[in-house]
Structure 1
Amino acid sequence: MSDFNGASFSSGFKWLLGLAALMIVLGALKVAEAIVVPMLLAIFIAIICAPPLAWMTSHKVPPWLAILLLVFTLMIFSWVLVLFVGSAIDTFTLRLPTYQARLQEEAVKLLPFFERLGLPVTREQFLNHFNPGSLMRLAGNALTNLGGLLTDLMLIVFVVIFLLMEATLLGDKLHKALPSAEHSLEQADDFVRKVNKYLVIKTTISIATGFLITTWLWFLGVDFAPLWGLVAALMNFIPNVGSIIAAVPAVLLSIVQLGLPDAALVAAGYIAVNLLMGNVLEPRYMGTGLGLSPLVVFLSLMVWGWMFGPAGMFLSIPLTMIVKIALEQSPSTRWVAIMIGN
């Protein structure tokens, strides 16, 4: 009996010790947010760049030239993105007071409807409890944070350069340094392949989502269509709630600019695109083993968002997926991966 109690105490102590270590690590990451966030984004981009780098080197392109081509493409893309997003955010911020005022006017038109229902509400009471203009202001603040994040993009690109340079040599280094750990290296290779598969497929689907949303909004004549397409692409990394968050500013703007019928078309476009991408294409190419339960998605948004702000919310699902894939590699932790999956 004493042996059983001792074993139970030892097991419980190990869990408590592991939990305490996890809290310490999370606290340290929170303190080092200014350094950790650019590093995580750089690793994210480097993993996405790994397949084209491998393709070029397998087709007899020298590694230094392949990296140079990738870096040149990244720098041009970053420069265009920073200029475009910065300009769009500045223009949207200037027009924001006008949009807020017009949105309030549209909302006040609902007052006669409430009166017919026997709910007499004054204009002041209505705007105090339901002020859609505040949603537009919230969207403006979120876009400003996005612009601030993109100012670090050039630093992130330079980190990506060094990561790609190291990636071409890392495999050989590990095999030479650890010749007796062949099985562990195979597990590490399998882990990297799964992470790479998830990030590449998710990024491709997100880009396609952004392109379709941009095209639909441009066709309807909604202002800042490319900006809302970019937001839709970024929010696509957050399942379940990301598409809803991405649709809110575009739908509100279309109410102000085009009226309720066209706003309904905007919302229908978002629903159609996300149903196509999230329920048809993504499960087909991603497979059934790369999913998270809705509860884990919500908790991931809270934890990573608290730690790293808007960038943490954007990276929350990829980071949690990486943790899930890592847990699947060991039989002793595979049950945890099953529990947090969908």
Structure 2
Amino acid sequence: MPDDREPPARSVIPRESLLILTCAGALVAAVGLRAFSGIIAPLILALVLVVAVQPIRDYAVRRGVPEWLATSTTLLAVYAIVAGFGLALLVAAGRFATLLAEYEPQFQELVADVGDLLESWGIGSVQVREMINAIDLGSVVGIATDLIGGVAGAFTSIFFIVVLLFFVATDAGAFASKLRRVPESGSRTAEAFGRFAQGTRSYLVVSTLFGLVVAFVDVVALYALDIRDPWLWGMLAFLTNYIPNIGFVVGLVPPTIIALLDHGWGTALAVIIVYCAVNFVLQTLVQPRVVGNTVGLSGSLTFLSLIFWATLFGGIGAILAIPLTLFVKAVFVDVSPDRGWIGPLLSSHSGSAPSEGRVT
């Protein structure tokens, strides 16, 4: 005899209440991430770096290299990347501070000229003199080097990052196979993390290629304008290219100030025009389209993710804004078929679904 009893009614949370709870939970999570950013940010950096060089390990293992040797090679490659990135930024900051110290007379003359100009515009001499007395080269050096040092600070916890890299690289090889052995939901999770890894690698490849092009154009322009140490500023432009949308501003500050103190307003304006033109053509028009096609994120989402992750994690958040967004997408969107409709909303594609992690 069939059971005519109705199944017990499930409690349904009203949609408005669910939205409020979701927003509250997201806010609490963001506050928690910000509070523990000193631990979480290096961990994320280690994860992304290992993901970036994991194909080296996989290729070596397929060629018959022992796993311990392949893992060690991968780890050394990551250590070299971290050391090179951090050292380059510190060298740029140190050299910039040294150069500015040599321009103390030119700086004081420039400040006096600006004061005379303001007085000619009718601004009171007392206010102008107070402003001039408050300005010194040390404060300018501090502001400029803080911009570079803020990015370099992402790599200062060297010991912590080194230890994290060791454990992450050691476990990375077996992680995917463990996920695949988990039935159904585990396989979908493995696919989502696979797309995250592939998208992260593709994004880093695209950013590296565009960074090289941007650095080359900037170096040629700085040579033509007779700016000191053009290769150093080109290297800085290459490194800051990994920061979406606003990274070029960090690379623009040192050569512009050097041009101003060495050659005057005209050359400084020329440097600004060159950097802005390169940024507009390559980093605003071309690169976001390529990145969007590669990882499936819209330009507006890229910019918002930069602000969000930089607020939470500082310099590391700015550098890893795209990989972090891809990770969140993999964890909260790609693993669940019920949330598949969210993917197209995040994508830069207006029609078909974006290619997952393919370099176009």
Describe how 1:247-286 pairs up with structure 2 within 5 A.
247-275=252-280, 277-278=282-283, 279-280=285-286, 283-284=289-290
Deviation for aligned residue 1:307? 2.1
Q: CA deviation at 1:151?
A: 2.7
Distance in 2 (alpha carbons) for counterparts of 1:122 and 1:318: 51
Structure 1 contact 46–163 (Cα < 8 Å) conserved: yes
Q: 1:194 and 1:91 mapped to 2: Cα distance? A: 35
Which one has the bigger helix percentage?
1
Q: d(CA) in 2 for partners of 1:338 and 1:124? A: 59
Task: Tell which deviates more after alignment, 150-159 or 93-102.
Answer: 93-102
Instruction: Read off the aligned partner of 1:45 and give its amino acid letter.
Output: L
Which of 35, 50, 72 aligns to 2:39? It is 35
How many pairs are equivalent?
Answer: 333
CA RMSD of aligned residues (A): 3.8
Could you tell me how far 1:20 is from its partner in structure 2? 1.9
Shift of residue 338 of structure 1?
Answer: 4.5
Deviation at 1:145, TM superposition (A): 3.4
Asked if 2 retains the 8 angstrom alpha-carbon contact of 1:103 and 1:252, the reply is no
**Aligned equivalent of 1:175:** 180
Q: 2:354 maps to what in 1?
A: none
Shift of 1:91: 4.0
Which residue number in structure 2 is paired with residue 236 of structure 1?
241
Which amino acid in the other structure matches residue 291 of structure 1?
L
Q: From the superposition, tell whether residues 183 and 301 of structure 1 become closer, same or farther in structure 2 (CA, over 3 Å).
A: closer
Unaligned runs of 5+ in 2: 1-10, 349-360
1:290 correspondence with 2:291: no
Per the alignment, do residues 307 and 123 of structure 1 end up closer, same or farther by CA in structure 2, a change over 3 Å counting? farther
Q: Does 1:55 align with 2:32?
A: no
Deviation at 1:171, TM superposition (A): 1.9
User: Which piece of structure 1 moves more, 16-25 or 200-209?
Assistant: 200-209
Aligned to 2:353: none
Tell me, what secondary structure is at the counterpart of 1:287? Answer: helix
- Alpha-carbon spacing, 1:324–1:19, altered in 2? closer, same or farther (3 Å): same
Taking a change above 3 Å as real, the CA distance of residues 184 and 91 of structure 1, as seen in their structure-2 partners, is closer
> Which structure is richer in relative contact order (CA contacts within 8 A, separation 6 or more)?
2
Q: What secondary structure does 2:244 align onto?
A: coil
From 15, 18, 28, the counterpart of 2:19 = 15
Q: How far apart are residue 39 of structure 1 and its match? A: 0.8
Per the alignment, residue 8 of structure 2 pairs with none
Which runs of 5 or more residues in structure 1 are unaligned?
1-5
In the alignment, what sits opposite 1:119?
121
TM-score (norm 1): 0.77
Equivalent position of 2:150 in the other structure:
145
Q: Secondary structure at the match of 1:291?
A: coil
- 1:213 maps to which residue? 218
Give, in whole Å, the separation in 2 of the partners of 1:77 and 1:192: 18
User: Residues 88 and 337 from structure 1, CA distance in 2 versus in 1: closer, same or farther, beyond 3 angstroms?
Assistant: same
TM superposition shift of 1:45: 1.1
Percent identity between matched residues is 24
